[in-house]
Structure 1
Amino acid sequence: MKPITQKELVVGYFKDNPSREIKHAEIVDWLIAEYKKRTSEVFRDPDRQIRSLHQSGFLIKVDKGVYKYDPDSVTETALHDFTQQQKDAILKRDGYRCVMCGRSEAEGVELHVDHVKAKDKGGAATISNGQTLCAMHNYRKKNYKQTEAGKKMFIRLYEQAKEIGDDEVMKFCEKILTVYENCDVNGHIEWRK
């Protein structure tokens, strides 16, 4: 018997539960236990498989942490990755540095080439839609909207400048964070002067 892949297990669970809104905890708990039972191995990142199936159009995201499989609505979107030539051009254009923090591989960070507008939101695999991010900022961007990651970055920079008394950087950050406030962008993320 051929061993089951993690993706096959996720797909199978949703196909066995069509049109049912399934909460994140339920599916993850089941996947971890079932994969262990069938393979004696640990399913390390079920979230990635679920997210990938949503991005490709197989699953519908009903609400935060709630997904469903509707056999009549599967759209199977083709998500395009950058070619190696495009990655090389984007890295070169960005000076082989993270566009968020400016760090490079020479400083011990892993660099990723990322879609500015996400693939699952229709972002094309073009050089103009690419950016260089360190692994940390790429991970954060995936977990927050990019504007949230940016606001949090400027809040951190402001706090660091305040600790060392760097008035110039504090004023710079205040101006940018005031723009966030004036435009009512990410108001749920608070900062204090």
Structure 2
Amino acid sequence: MTSQLDLILEFFKANANKDISHPEAVDWLTNEWQKRTGKVFRDPDRGIRTLHQKGYLIKVAKGIYRFEPNFKLRDDLEDFTPDLKKKILDRDEHKCVICGVGQKDGVELHVDHIKPKELGGKATFENGQTLCAKHNFLKKNLKQTETGKKMFIQMLETAKAENETFLVKFIEEILSVYEKHNMNGHIRWKK
């Protein structure tokens, strides 16, 4: 039986050297998976991203991918071994290092490369961290500093609403460091 990743690759190979948008791929994949298996293809987007991260697909632009038959597959991307994943999860107490939720809260956890493997990050204990699915998704779709700034802005709004003056002052100091170093200026916060 064909796996979901195999089906995605089949689709992109059939459309080689063509820029394919997510909606076009997702529509075909969900329909074809339903025809072949009688089941629902729950997250084709994740499968497409996985194949890109593994070097099978080229990301042309946001939400647009291409398969090129002559493209050299990256063999330098390292994944964490199951043993190393366990050690990282144990070190991080099976909780997301950003929000603190974990499996006991019914949340799916991921072992994530701090420095992304696409940017040369190695699968080492020091370069691993535990993230909940939500924060792993945010990190993959936003630069880490952008994710951090957005989370601090969200925390600031909550702290203001709950009249937590000490926390408001602390978060504003952090956000002023972003400004001082001209980091992520496109993300605005209300002073």
TM over 0.5: yes
Give the equivalent residue in structure 1 for 2:60.
Answer: 62
Farther-moved stretch of structure 1 (117-126 vs 55-64): 117-126
Where structure 1 has 5 or more consecutive residues not aligned to the other structure, the ranges are none
**What is the SS of the residue equivalent to 1:58?**
coil
Question: Which one-letter code corresponds to 1:74 in the other structure?
Answer: K
Q: Where do 1:23-38 residues align within 5 Å?
A: 23-38=21-36
Q: Where do 1:98-137 residues align within 5 Å?
A: 98-103=96-101, 109-137=107-135
TM-score scaled by length of structure 1: 0.85
Question: Which one-letter code corresponds to 2:161 in the other structure?
Answer: E
Cα separation, 1, equivalents of 2:119 and 2:74: 13
Alpha-carbon offset, residue 103 of structure 1 = 4.2
Within the candidate set 132, 144, 147, 1:146 is matched to 144
TM-score scaled by length of structure 2: 0.86
Give the equivalent residue in structure 1 for 2:16.
Answer: 18
Cα separation, 1, equivalents of 2:66 and 2:13: 9
Question: Which one-letter code corresponds to 1:80 in the other structure?
Answer: E
**What is the SS of the residue equivalent to 2:126?**
helix
Farther-moved stretch of structure 1 (155-164 vs 137-146): 137-146
TM-aligned CA distance change 1:106 to 1:8, over 3 Å: closer
Listed one character per residue, the Cα deviations across residues 69-103 of structure 1 (whole Å, up to 9, x for unaligned) are: 11111314354332344334434544554321244
Farther-moved stretch of structure 1 (183-192 vs 85-94): 85-94
Where structure 2 has 5 or more consecutive residues not aligned to the other structure, the ranges are none
Cα separation, 2, equivalents of 1:169 and 1:179: 16
Task: State the number of aligned residues.
Answer: 191
Farther-moved stretch of structure 1 (164-173 vs 69-78): 69-78
Listed one character per residue, the Cα deviations across residues 9-46 of structure 1 (whole Å, up to 9, x for unaligned) are: 21111111111111111111111112212222211111
Are 2:81 and 1:83 aligned? yes
Cα separation, 1, equivalents of 2:36 and 2:103: 40
Cα separation, 2, equivalents of 1:92 and 1:4: 34
Pairwise CA RMSD of aligned residues? 2.2
Are 2:138 and 1:177 aligned? no
Cα separation, 2, equivalents of 1:66 and 1:16: 16
